[in-house]
Structure 1
Amino acid sequence: MNMKKILALLGLSLAIGLGGCSEKKATEQNTQNAEGASSDKVYRVAMNAAFAPFQWVRTDGKIIGFEIDLVDAMAKEGNFKVEYVNTPWDTLFATLPSGDNDILSSAITITEDRKQAMDFSEPYFEIKQVILVPKGKNVQSIEDIKNLNKVAVTTGTSADAVAQKTLGKTSNKIARFESLPLVLKEVENGGADVAISDSAVVSNYIKNNSDKGFTIVQIQDSAPEFYGMAVRKGDTETLKMVNEALAKVKASGEYDKIYNQYFAQ
């Protein structure tokens, strides 16, 4: 082989070697960047921010409330980052399997049906279903709503289930709305005789509207319900992170401080 051919072959080998090294370095760099990005993950926490005092939108557009303060405290204790996403109730659950959101924190009652589609954290709040009764309405028990014309509920909630149980699934007496503010406004305006909703929410509403003469009627056979934060089915890593952070917030006494800020009588 003459010298020119030898030099050409050496040059080709060197070029291939350098190209291989460059490709390897690029791959290593991409891997490092990916690993760095994962450690900086921001968890998207979705809620229907129309359920005071758990979460609602302030006049400046910021979402505030009990659950916001709780998740903020959990993120601090668990050393993770969150951003909040206001989502309509009727599409909220679908955002988990689609990957649009990572955690749902929206006063969601833990039920066996919902457990089939998502995983829940340990409970963080206990409530019961109650009836919001305007002044002048004669309602003493859940059976009395059978004598009314319209009972307002938020679609797809535990209140909706209670109304269906008492009045029938297809009853035209059940007036369904996509958010709690619409439910309350309907009762205020006289479009509905009463509303059914969660005890903490109704108590908060009456507290802030003491001049309107509303009262609460307990539903005698209403079993306690528990709120939990939901994650994608099988997402054990996020579920563990949420549960550990929640446990730390409770153990430190921070949960009680937040609770008393919103619910102390």
Structure 2
Amino acid sequence: MKLNHFVVLGCVSLILAACGGSGGSSGSNQTASATSDSASGSVKVLKVGTDASFAPFESMNEKQEIYGFDIDLLNEMAKVGGFKLEFKHTPWDGIFASLNNRDVDIVASAVTITDERKNTMDFTDSYYKITQVVMVSPNKDVKTVEDLTKLTRVGVVAGQTGDFAAQKIFGATSNQIARFDSLPLLIKEVENSGLDAAISDSAVIAHHIKNNAGKGFTMVSIPDFEEENYGFAVRKGDTETLNLLNQSLKTVRENGTYAEIEKKYFAQ
């Protein structure tokens, strides 16, 4: 998860986690197919931690299968790279610890590449770009940062870049910021009128608004929120996995597979 001009958008297909597929092609216990290593006869298996609550990048269906843009992209990367993947739903508040503790080898959870995070982990090349946006309740009028500062409660997911963006506007300890453990909880609170607005990734908010068009929510883009790049995170110094992922990502971009997956999840 994923810093963060004022244009009001009623319906978008993107947020830092936008349009998602309705069916899961990759379950939490599923692995992507891979070819054997000709030298050792074995296949490299990489464990992937993902917080499956950030549609359309990663979600979980009724069968507890994990699916989404990140999942499909990694599975295609595994096919061309000759490795296997095991996906594990990992709550955001412990996802980076699971990487450092070697419980997982990759964090794939719409993670924004930041200088601070690069101190403790390595990132692949960027695979998606977003910005932070504001999801505004139907009865609120927000068009500028100044309008935003006049709201009573603005929600964010704790530790995500929307949280950092809010801190820059309100101050790190401001009572105007309400923090939640996951995006679904944050969105629900906005819908229940417990919040005036929420700050999160553009693709994700756009995805929610698109699929809830009749509820009157709008998405506001703010110039102060900078463009962000998503990357897959690996342990610091794990150059073997990093190089494997970067080469595989490059291949799926060049062979057209990336564009097909992007169209599936983010088509207007």
- State the TM-score, normalizing by the size of structure 2: 0.84
Q: How does 1:1-40 map to 2 (within 5 A)?
A: 39-40=42-43
CA 138–253 in structure 1, closer or farther in 2 if over 3 Å, else same: same
Q: 1:205 aligns with which of 202, 205, 208?
A: 208
| Deviation by residue 1:152-207 (Cα, 9 ceiling, x = unmatched) | 10001110011100001100111101100000001000111100001111110000
Which residue of 2 is the match for residue 245 of structure 1?
248
Gaps of 5+ in 2: 1-38
| Offset of residue 89 of structure 1 | 0.3
Which residue of 1 is the match for residue 217 of structure 2?
214
Structure 1 counterpart of 2:261, one-letter code: I
Contact 2:43 2:82 in 1 (8 A): no
| Deviation by residue 1:107-157 (Cα, 9 ceiling, x = unmatched) | 000000000000000000000110001111011122212111110100011
| Offset of residue 39 of structure 1 | 3.0
| Deviation by residue 1:220-242 (Cα, 9 ceiling, x = unmatched) | 12111000000000000000000
Max radius of gyration: which structure?
1
| Deviation by residue 1:85-117 (Cα, 9 ceiling, x = unmatched) | 100101000111111000011000000000000
Which residue of 2 is the match for residue 52 of structure 1?
55
Question: Helix, strand or coil: the match of 2:111?
Answer: coil
Which residue of 1 is the match for residue 110 of structure 2?
107
Contact 1:143 1:166 in 2 (8 A): no
Q: Does 1:196 align with 2:217?
A: no
Higher relative contact order (CA 8 A, sep 6+): 2
| Offset of residue 244 of structure 1 | 0.5
Q: How well do the aligned residues superpose, as a CA RMSD in angstroms?
A: 1.4
Which residue of 2 is the match for residue 68 of structure 1?
71
Q: 1:184 aligns with which of 184, 187, 190?
A: 187
| Offset of residue 38 of structure 1 | 8.8
Q: Distance in 1 between matches of 2:237 and 2:52?
A: 26
CA 39–63 in structure 1, closer or farther in 2 if over 3 Å, else same: same
Structure 1 counterpart of 2:190, one-letter code: V
Gaps of 5+ in 1: 1-35
Between Structure 1 and Structure 2, the one with more helix by share is 1
Which residue of 1 is the match for residue 163 of structure 2?
160
Structure 1 counterpart of 2:178, one-letter code: A
Q: Distance in 2 between matches of 1:103 and 1:244?
A: 15
Q: Distance in 2 between matches of 1:245 and 1:179?
A: 30
Structure 1 counterpart of 2:260, one-letter code: K
CA 140–37 in structure 1, closer or farther in 2 if over 3 Å, else same: same
Q: Distance in 1 between matches of 2:146 and 2:69?
A: 32
Structure 2 counterpart of 1:190, one-letter code: S
Question: Helix, strand or coil: the match of 2:220?
Answer: strand
| Offset of residue 37 of structure 1 | 8.2
Q: Distance in 1 between matches of 2:114 and 2:130?
A: 13
Which residue of 2 is the match for residue 41 of structure 1?
44
Q: How does 1:166-177 map to 2 (within 5 A)?
A: 166-177=169-180
Which residue of 2 is the match for residue 144 of structure 1?
147
Q: Distance in 1 between matches of 2:132 and 2:226?
A: 8
| Offset of residue 40 of structure 1 | 2.9
- State the TM-score, normalizing by the size of structure 1: 0.85
Q: 1:228 aligns with which of 231, 235, 244?
A: 231
Question: Helix, strand or coil: the match of 1:59?
Answer: coil
* Equivalences, count: 231
Identity %: 52
Question: Helix, strand or coil: the match of 2:87?
Answer: strand
